[in-house]
Amino acid sequence: MRTNEGGPDVSRPALTPALTGTELTRWYWTLAELTALARQLGLSTAGGKAALTDRLAAVLDGRPEPRPVRTARRGGRQLAAPVHGDTVIPEGQRCSQVLREHFTREIGPAFHFDAFMRDYVAQGAGRTLAEAVSHWHATRQRAAEPQEVGAQFEFNRFLRDWHARHPDGARTEALAAWRDHRARPKDRRAAGHSTRRPS
């Protein structure tokens, strides 16, 4: 049984239908683990990790399964080549190969669809591709700064934070620290224990 520093013995439980929803949400689980449990319970595995966790927690606690949040599909016309700087972004435009080729021609081989450009295209109906190129250049300083990693990427966020605290640390040490971190319930990861360097 794993012992937490400064607290009673705590070990990660088995992920089974006997688990409560409250206990489920105390621990880190991979999407594969959550998907396997959902299938065992006959639940839908649709949606992201957060939606799947909410669905499982509700069912394990005997509550009704949450209704899925449906987002309207934004269809509509997609831009086709050739495009130019005066081309207007239509409603529902995706980050397509046509746009990638245009931006690479205008910006150079460093171009890629980062969060700033994906958001701009998604919300840029009525703006021109020349304005999108200007947006790329205007956001390069912010793009170079560390970006917040989404909750669904906890492993990536953990490694980034661990390496910031231990710049000379080896990957094997970081992975050992991650295994220790994920073996603890979320309410016992405070005070930097989760990012300590293995001795």
Structure confidence by residue, pLDDT tens digits, 2-25: 434 444 456 889 999 999 999 999
Count other C-beta atoms under 10 Å from residue 176's C-beta. Answer: 14
How would residue 131 be classed by pLDDT, with cut points 50, 70 and 90? Answer: very high
The mean pLDDT of 154-174, rounded to a whole number, is 86
How would residue 74 be classed by pLDDT, with cut points 50, 70 and 90? Answer: low
Is the pLDDT higher at 159 or at 83? 83
Residues constituting the chain: 199
Is the separation of the CB atoms in 116 and 143 below 8 Å? yes
| Residue 134 pLDDT > 90 | yes
Concatenate the DSSP letters of all residues of 88-120 into one string. Answer: BPPTT----HHHHHHHHHHH-TT----HHHHHH
Q: Dig out the tokens for 188 from the structure.
A: 């016992």
Is the separation of the CB atoms in 181 and 10 below 8 Å? no
How would residue 155 be classed by pLDDT, with cut points 50, 70 and 90? Answer: confident
**Amino acid found at 100:** R
- Is residue 178 classed as helix, strand or coil in its secondary structure? helix
- Scanning the structure block, which residue is given the tokens 């005066």? 86
| Residue 67 pLDDT > 80 | no
Radius of gyration of the chain (CA): 22
